[in-house]
Amino acid sequence: MTICRRAFSAFLPAALFSSLAKNSFAEDIFISDTHSHSALSPRNEACLSCELNAQHVTLVSWALGSDGPFIQRLPSGAMQVNLKATPEQYQETFLRQLGGMFARIRREQIRIVRNALDVDRALAGELRLVISTEGAHYLGGDIGYLDLAYNRGVRQIGLGHFVEGDITDVRTEPPKIGGLSTFGKDVIRRCNALGILVDLAHSTDTAVAQALETSNQPMLWSHSNITRIPSSWNTGGNQVMSVSLQNAKVMAERGGVIGVWPSRFNFDNPDAYVAGLQAAVEMVGADHVAFGTDMQGLSTQATMMTDYSGMRDIVNRMLAKNMPEAVVRKVASENYGRLLKTVFNGRTAPDPM
């Protein structure tokens, strides 16, 4: 005998049915992530696609750290810069890391995002990875290297990370170049032409403001939080990595997106993270907030989740807090996808041969 959902509800207490309905409905809400390091370690043999598919995560920025081999995580969770490498060392690292990523992609038969149609497929439920870099040290002052990165599949580039470079001042080192360098501005313009999404996370407030004036395409702040009180590398506190509200508002006005991370630097527990998402929506609008997990990029003591089941739980909590379905869908998936499509469709450079 078959019992329809409406009839079945008659046998359940209203609160219990409501909970079941929300959890069931949440499975229909796909998840996008503006920034993830999941399973990037060569020693991590976990099935990346298995985890993502199980949690209905369909669009993920998979980011290699361009300065990764040259930094070290201290027992406190802080990052220490061990070496400022040469451009040749950065480029060797970039190509080696990229090769490792594509080896896993081939092994697990995962598809990557190359164009707007691929984004549409991800938003419709087919898993796609956006190949990204956190930091662009590997450019080595050569704007032409951006074309190589694009042709290798890179579609999102963070200007800075932890090691200071020649593109942007970063939030964890004393400013050296007054925000963006001339080369940094050229990088943004070439990314605009190629159809590469520029990620401003880790850049200082001054650099972000200059980048927003330089770019003719909307931009991304992939992970951290929005702070009402501007901070810099030497102010300390939990907000040192956060984008200022002033810059976040300008970014939103120009079509950009801010990825909010589930970090214990900013939020004590999952409900506090949901409240943080709601606060971000109130500050910059429902079209400009996304999930930016930094999955497996944060230290274990600094994150409230180490896999994507935690983000599925966040979607359930957003619904349980009576956030409108349309807003949940935008934050959970649609905003990041829209941003990527806008940048891809804004490409003006000739298509590569």
In this structure, the dihedral spanned by the alpha carbons of residues 333, 335, 340 and 342, taken in order and rounded to 10 degrees, is 140
The answer to the question of residue 253 being in a domain is yes
**Contact in structure between 221 and 203 (CB atoms under 8 Å):** no
Beta strands 71-73 and 31-36 are: unpaired
Would residue 4 count as lying in a domain? Answer: no
pLDDT, mean of residues 297-305 = 88
* Lowest mean pLDDT, pick from 5-19, 141-155, 287-301, 314-328: 5-19
- 38-69 per-position pLDDT tens digit: 988 767 778 999 999 999 999 999 999 887 77
- pLDDT at 250 > cutoff 70: yes
> Residue 87 belongs to what domain range?
30-345
Pairing of strands 79-81, 226-227: unpaired
User: Considering only CA atoms, which of 42, 7, 211, 195 is closest in space to residue 119?
Assistant: 195
Q: Is residue 133 part of a domain?
A: yes
How much is the pLDDT for 82? 62
pLDDT above 50 for 340: yes
286 found inside a domain = yes
Residue 298 pLDDT: 86
Looking at residues 323-335, what average pLDDT do you find? 97
What residues have CB less than 8 Å from 15, skipping those under 6 apart? Answer: none
Does the global pTM surpass 0.85? yes
Is residue 22 scored above 90 in pLDDT?
A: no
Tell whether the model's pLDDT for residue 10 goes beyond 50.
no
In this model, does residue 248 exceed pLDDT 90?
yes
Instruction: Give whichever of 11-15, 162-166, 293-297 has the largest mean pLDDT.
Output: 293-297
> pLDDT of 72-83, one tens digit each?
666 666 666 666
More confident position, 76 or 37? 37
Give yes or no for residue 18 having a pLDDT over 50.
Answer: no
Q: Confirm whether 175 is domain-assigned.
A: yes
* Interatomic CA distance for residues 131 and 7, integer angstroms: 47
Q: How many domains does the chain have?
A: 1
Q: How far apart are CA 253 and CA 232, in angstroms?
A: 24
Per-residue pLDDT at 323: 95
- Averaged confidence pLDDT in the chain: 88
Max CA-CA distance within the chain?
72
Query: pLDDT grade, residue 352 (50/70/90)?
Result: low
Q: What is the pLDDT of residue 80?
A: 64
Angle, CA of 134, 136 and 141, to the nearest 5°: 175
Contact criterion met (CB below 8 Å) for 312 and 56? yes
- Whether the pLDDT of residue 233 is over 70: the answer is no
The residue among 10 and 27 whose pLDDT is bigger is 27
pLDDT of residue 1: 35
- Is there a domain that residue 239 lies in? yes
315 contact partners, CB below 8 Å, separation of at least 6: 26, 29, 31, 328, 332
For residue 212, the number of C-alpha atoms closer than 13 Å in the C-beta half-sphere is 23
pLDDT tens string 159-212: 998 888 899 999 988 899 999 999 999 999 999 999 999 999 999 999 999 999
β-bridge mates for residue 168, sequence order: 180
Q: What is the CATH number of the domain that holds 252?
A: 3.20.20.140
Question: Does 285 have pLDDT greater than 50?
Answer: yes
Distance, CA of 280 to CA of 269 (rounded, Å): 17
Split at pLDDT 50, 70, 90, the class of 11 is very low
Residue 23 within any structural domain of the chain = no
Q: Quick check: is 310 in a domain?
A: yes
Burial class (CB in 10 A: 0-12, 13-18, 19+), 175: middle
